[in-house]
C-alpha cells in the first residue's frame, strides 16, 4: 500500500505502543497505516528487558488496570512462546512485600508468595510467575500480525502530526513526542543493559538494593539480560563501560554464577517518562482527530495492550 492510498487511521510510532495499537485497530476491521522512523528492531522497545510489571508509569491506578488487561493478553500469547516471544517465568521481586501487591494483583497472580531466604538472600521479596517477553522476537511478530490483518508499515519521519492528511492520527511516538507535539513534560530516563551468556539461570530477579541501585537478571532465549540504570534527563545512547561493569557486579552479587559470564552485547535505551501517561483524544480545528498514547516510562510493554485498546476506542468513537 502506498502512502497516498486511503486509510481510516494513521498510527505514528513503531515501538510496542504503536504496534499494539495498530494491531487492535486493524483486527477490528479499520484500515490502518503505521509510520515509523526506525525499523521495529531499532526502537526503544527493542531494548526493553521485557518483564511484565508496572515500573515508572503513572497514574498508578490506571496503569494497574492497563497492566492487568495486558496480562490477560500475554498469558494467551505464552501458549506459543516460540512464535510470540512471550512466556511465563518465575522469579523474585526484591525489596517487595506481599502487602505491596495484594491489593491489586494477588487475585490474578496465582502462586504469589513471600520469597524464601534461599530464593532471595538479600532480604524481603515476593516470588511471582510473570510474563517475560523476548522483544527481539515479539516486536517482529507484532509487525507480522499487523500486516496479516491488512495493515501497512512505512518508514517515515513525521515532523508535524497535523499535516499527515489522515482523518485520524494516533501519536505513539514515545520520547519523540517531546519535540513533535511538543510536550516538554516528556523526558528521557536512560537505561543501560549488558547481555551475557547464560550460565544456566532459569529464574529472573529484580532488586533495588539497600542503596537503591537497580539490578535485574532476566533469562531470555540464548542469553541473559542484566540491568540496569534509570538516569533521568540523560540523552546519551552510548554504553558507558564503567556503568556496564557496575551492572555486572550488582547482578553477580544477586546471582554469583554470573561472575565471569562472557559479555555478548551492550545496549542503551531512553525510556519516555512523563508525569502521567497521555492517553486522550483531541479534535483539530479542521475536524480531524488526534489521539495521544505516549509517556509510558519504563512500563510500555506492561501496559501496552490496555493502552492500545483504550486508544483504539478513542480513535474510532
Taking the CA atoms of 108, 113, 118 and 121 in sequence, report the sign of the dihedral they define.
positive
Angle between helices 16-27 and 300-316 (to 10 degrees): 40
Q: Would you say 229 is a known binding-site residue?
A: no
Q: Write the DSSP symbol of residue 153.
A: E
297 annotated ligand-binding residue: yes
Q: Is 300 flagged in the annotation as binding?
A: yes
**Is 164 known to sit in a ligand binding site?**
no
Query: Is 45 annotated as ligand-binding?
Result: yes
Is 200 annotated as a binding-site member?
no
| Residue 301 assigned to a binding site | yes
**CA end-to-end span of the chain, whole Å?**
25
Q: What is the DSSP string of the chain?
A: --TTS--SEEEE--SHHHHHHHHHHHHTT--EEEEESS-GGGSGGGG---B-S--S-SSHHHHHHHHHHHHHHHHHHTTSHHHHSEEEEEEEEET--HHHHTTTTGGGSTT-EEPPTTT-TTS-EEEEEEEEE-HHHHHHHHHHHHHHTT-EEEE---S-GGGS--SEEEE--GGGHHHHTT-TT-EEEEEEEEEE--SS--SEEEE--TT---EEEEEETTEEEEE---EET----SPPHHHHHHHHHHHHHH-GGGTTPPEEEEEEEEEEE-SS-EEEEEE-TTS-EEEEEE--GGGHHHHHHHHHHHHHHHHH-
28 Cβ contact list (under 8 Å, min separation 6): 312, 316
173 is in an annotated binding site: yes
| 263 labeled part of a ligand binding site | no
CA separation (Å) from 181 to 34, 113, 175?
18, 43, 10
What are the binding residues for FAD?
Answer: 44-45, 173, 297-302
What are the binding residues?
Answer: 44-45, 173, 216, 271, 297-302
What are the binding residues for D-dopa?
Answer: 216, 271, 298
Amino acid at each position: 500500500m502506498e502512502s497516498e492510498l486511503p486509510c481510516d487511521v494513521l498510527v505514528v510510532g513503531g515501538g510496542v505502543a504503536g504496534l499494539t495499537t495498530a494491531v487492535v485497530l486493524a483486527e477490528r476491521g479499520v484500515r490502518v497505516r503505521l509510520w515509523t522512523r526506525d525499523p521495529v528492531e531499532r526502537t526503544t522497545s527493542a531494548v526493553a528487558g521485557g518483564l511484565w510489571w508496572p515500573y515508572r508509569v503513572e497514574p498508578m491506578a490506571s496503569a494497574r488496570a492497563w497492566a492487568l488487561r495486558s496480562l490477560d493478553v500475554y498469558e494467551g500469547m505464552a501458549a506459543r512462546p516460540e512464535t510470540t516471544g512471550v512466556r511465563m517465568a518465575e522469579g523474585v521481586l526484591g525489596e517487595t512485600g506481599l502487602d505491596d501487591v495484594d491489593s491489586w494483583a494477588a487475585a490474578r497472580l496465582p502462586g504469589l508468595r513471600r520469597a524464601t531466604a534461599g530464593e532471595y538472600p538479600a532480604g524481603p521479596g515476593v516470588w511471582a510467575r510473570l510474563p517475560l517477553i523476548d522483544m527481539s522476537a515479539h516486536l517482529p511478530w507484532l509487525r507480522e500480525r499487523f500486516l496479516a490483518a491488512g495493515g501497512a508499515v512505512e518508514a517515515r519521519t513525521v515532523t508535524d502530526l497535523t499535516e499527515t492528511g489522515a482523518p485520524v492520527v494516533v501519536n505513539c511516538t514515545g520520547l519523540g513526542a517531546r519535540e513533535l507535539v511538543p510536550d516538554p513534560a516528556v523526558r528521557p530516563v536512560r537505561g543501560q543493559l549488558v547481555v551475557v551468556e547464560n550460565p544456566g539461570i532459569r529464574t529472573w530477579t529484580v532488586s533495588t538494593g539497600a542503596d537503591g541501585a537497580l539490578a535485574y537478571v532476566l533469562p531470555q532465549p540464548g542469553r541473559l539480560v542484566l540491568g540496569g540504570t534509570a538516569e533521568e534527563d540523560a540523552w546519551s545512547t552510548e554504553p558507558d563501560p564503567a556503568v556496564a561493569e557496575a551492572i555486572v557486579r550488582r547482578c553477580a552479587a544477586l546471582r554469583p554464577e554470573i561472575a565471569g559470564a562472557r559479555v555478548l552485547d551492550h545496549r542503551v535505551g531512553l525510556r519516555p517518562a512523563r508525569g502521567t501517561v497521555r492517553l486522550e483524544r483531541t479534535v483539530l480545528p479542521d475536524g480531524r482527530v488526534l489521539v495521544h498514547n505516549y509517556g509510558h516510562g519504563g512500563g510500555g510493554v506492561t501496559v501496552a495492550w490496555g493502552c492500545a485498546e483504550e486508544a483504539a476506542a478513542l480513535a474510532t468513537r
